[in-house]
Amino acid sequence: MNRNTVHARPDQGYVMFVDMNSFFASCEQQMNYYLRGRPVGVCVYTGENGCVIAPSIEARQRGVKTGMRLREAIRLCPELVPLESRPERYREFHVRIIEVLRRYAQEVIPKSIDEAVIDLRSYKRVYPDLMALARQIKTDIREQVGEWLRCSIGIAPNAFLAKLGTELQKPDGLVMITPENIDQILAGLSLTDLPGIAERMAQRLKKGGIHTPLELRHASPHHLRQVCQSIVGLHWHYRLNFAEVDIMDHPYKTMQAMRQISAAQRQRVESLHDLLVALCMTLERRMVNQRVCCREVTVQFTYTYTRQWHQVIRLPQPVQEGTWLLQAIRQRMEHFVRIHHCEPLINDQLTAMGISVSDFVPEELVPLSLFEEPVRRQNLLRAVYDIKDRFGPDKLIKAVELSDAQPMKDAIGFGSVKDLHARQT
């Protein structure tokens, strides 16, 4: 359902934005009593070159930031406890939190693994006191999901302003933005304090004579569109004047699977081939969950000598199976090596490998063939992933996935969780 509207009517009700604080680290502290109150850094890998993807509240207070190299974080905070990430654990906590939110309204839109929007515009009579409702939600999360989990909640006439509210008070914050207090709130902020405005956009706005969020709110739509040179400027006018342009859960335009490759991983080229297989199978699972097939594949390899190999492969027919993706990529690699007389593209100089798929077609619209049975293949793939979800990902695997070692750790991002909720339905 599309809940977006460009008609600004702040009297029509409010939405609530729930942002879990230091979510991955808080999940670890919830599961391990002895980590509570200590600075924790969740990392994909805990080697000295590992990257902190989620510092705990205590680690943030000591200056540890998301994206910081582990060796730098430990130099800054010697008592930091580095932990390898446990993606399945965080997914389970996410699902339980969404279940709590849906007891209050069906219109809950998960925006990421640690964020969700509750559209309360149809519940004005049910919840006359939204601040009291927000405090009750905080209590329910602590009592029913985990006592160490904290969240910041923003309440506003649209999702953007509600998200802004969560940024103003962390951790465990609660802020309500209304037509009466919005100018006062914006007056204390800089342009880069607004979610979605980085330094580059701020400089563009300043060149157009807009130096503060308050000036941005009161600039004319025409001027904003000229300054931003696109409809983006119009969207900023809508957001700061209570219209809704951010709440819709858009379908995928692309799906990506990528991994950084450590020096140790590069030592065994066979494991890099296994990694390519694993990336293709990851995209297969996501397309099966979303019931789509792709018509385009993009491959990007990055090497130690800063070179990249980038190819866009147009498929002759819509594809969902990872083995077909793998075959198309291998054929393109072999063709490139043969034409350019170069070394194999998968070699010990690889530092990153990424695959993306796009130009999706719903699986029910894939043309039928006289010689193939796509419907039976699609049903078989769904059955395979149903078994994996129920009994574990290693209980049923394709022959092409067989390997002496696990080539790719499970990982989780902060972005879309549509795959996760497709699996729950």
Of the candidates 220, 172, 166, which has an alpha carbon nearest to the alpha carbon of residue 193? Answer: 166
**Alpha helix ranges (H) inside 32-86:** 57-61, 70-76
How far apart, in whole angstroms, are the C-alpha atoms of residue 60 and residue 173? 16
Per residue in 17-47, pLDDT (tens digit) is 999 999 999 999 999 999 999 999 999 888 8
81 forms bridges with which residues in the sheet? 40
| Active site (catalytic) residues | 115
Say yes or no to pLDDT of 367 above 70: no
pLDDT of res. 246: 79
How far apart, in whole angstroms, are the C-alpha atoms of residue 122 and residue 268? 57
Q: What is the DSSP letter of 267?
A: T
370: pLDDT confidence band, cut at 50, 70 and 90? very low
Per DSSP, the three-state class of 116 is strand
User: Which residue type occupies 20?
Assistant: M
Q: How far is C-alpha 423 from the chain's CA centre? A: 16
Q: In what order do the strands lie in the sheet with 52-55?
A: 52-55, 40-43, 81-84
Q: In what order do the strands lie in the sheet with 151-156?
A: 108-112, 115-119, 15-20, 151-156, 174-176
Q: Are 112 and 414 in contact (CB under 8 A)?
A: yes
pTM of the complete model:
0.70
Per residue in 165-178, pLDDT (tens digit) is 999 999 999 999 99
Q: Which of 115-124, 234-243, 386-395 has the lowest mean pLDDT?
A: 386-395
Domains and CATH numbers, the chain: 254-424 (3.30.1490.100)
Residue with tokens 């991983």: 265
Of the candidates 18, 17, 36, 20, which has an alpha carbon nearest to the alpha carbon of residue 28? Answer: 36
Q: Tell me the backbone φ, ψ of residue 337, rounded to 5 degrees.
A: -65, -40
Say yes or no to pLDDT of 310 above 60: yes
